[in-house]
Structure 1
């Protein structure tokens, strides 16, 4: 049985001197990871065996994945039936790594938008690592795997007008990561593993094990004892 062709993903420059430029890659959808962290300040209290932890702020989401560039597959392979590549790998590789450079109009690296199927993520590129596995006769790369880390980008207006709703009394969405189960997610979000039933109902899940890494779940608001949300 032949493997299905890898689907195309795009990275679009959102601002700066190259605003509107689109870089096409082949994205290997075997895995990707989302990470979110919070910052806490330790406050020492005399007489206590451990410091008090004070929440300071939330950090930006981080999306990490491998992107695939291939001169042999893109121009003549099965994926070219959907979208033929006109730029050689070398140019697309330069275009991608240049997104780490300071833009002359922004005086900072430009924000980008990553799209692949239903996924859309506005970010800045924090890190790119490359692994070259095939070369042209002249020594130029012909097949490259890029390990890319995107850090969520939100403007000041977005942060003010659309703040994150992190408390348990607000409906929110979470992506399933690793071996997350509904029980673990419920315990983490609501401090009550029994709330997995509410999550299953909100997402029309007949079997709580029918989730996989990368799935998005809606987490319903938790009712307070007086019946309000």
Structure 2
């Protein structure tokens, strides 16, 4: 049986199947750098926007095709959040597994066939998704997990502040403590620690699993 592509709405996991699978997909990445010549500095890796063309046809059943397309159009509306600030939901475009996670930032709808009553029965949708990353995915895209760093301890340093400044995540303080044999992290730094160099270890690799957020 042919697997259908689908759009999965977060956090409800509502699934919106497409009627016909797209004929092609481009999943591109861009490396962001600064500088010129021999002074180029890496900044981050970005997932480029995903643009998907979807086709819907209800001519055989003589029903309104908008019963399908309106579900996708609704994903551009700010409905997620509390209070006065809301935003469109994050969605996953999945086809044989999750391919892209992001917001729908552009929707082009073209209705190309109508019944005599004027009801549209055929539509083409151009859907543009902009990538949305988790905190850990964003850190990985900026290369935080790919390089060993060093930190000289100052008087007012705390391990969670060092973790935030070097790894971008204060919750990784225990990783720094373990790597530098700091047995009493609550009393760090002691006078003997001032001026020491901490090794901020490379947390990239299959052996490392970032701690779950609570």
State the secondary structure of the residue aligned to 2:5: strand
2:8 to 12, 15, 31: 12
Change in Cα spacing, 1:138 to 1:42, as seen in structure 2 (3 Å) is farther
- 1:27-66 to structure 2, matched below 5 A, reads 27-42=20-35, 52-66=39-53
CA contact (8 A) 1:130 1:146 kept: yes
5+ residue gaps, structure 2: 147-214
TM-score using structure 1 length: 0.51
Contact 1:62 1:152 in 2 (8 A): yes
1:91 aligns with 2:100: no
Is the 1:112–1:124 contact (alpha carbons within 8 Å) kept by the matching residues of 2? yes
* Partner residue in 2 for 1:71: 58
Instruction: Please say if 1:156 is aligned against 2:132.
Output: no
Separation (CA, whole Å) in 1 of partners of 2:70 and 2:92: 18
Checking the alignment, whether the CA contact within 8 Å between 1:6 and 1:26 is kept in structure 2 is no
**CA positional deviation for 1:56:** 2.1
TM-score w.r.t. the length of structure 2 is 0.54
Name the CA distance, whole Å, in 2 between partners of 1:35 and 1:120: 12
Structure 1 stretches of 5 or more lacking a match?
Answer: 44-49, 77-86, 170-229
* CA drift at 1:70: 1.3
CA distance in 1, matches of 2:2, 2:53: 13
> What is the total number of aligned residue pairs between the two structures?
144
When residues 119 and 12 of structure 1 are mapped into structure 2, their CA distance, relative to the original with a 3 A threshold, is closer
| Cα separation, 2, equivalents of 1:68 and 1:96 | 12
> In angstroms, what is the RMSD of aligned CA positions?
3.5
Q: Secondary structure at the match of 2:24?
A: strand
Q: Is the aligned partner of 1:143 residue 2:122?
A: yes
Whichever of the two has the greater Rg, that structure is 2
Alignment CA distance shift 1:104-1:152 (3 Å): closer
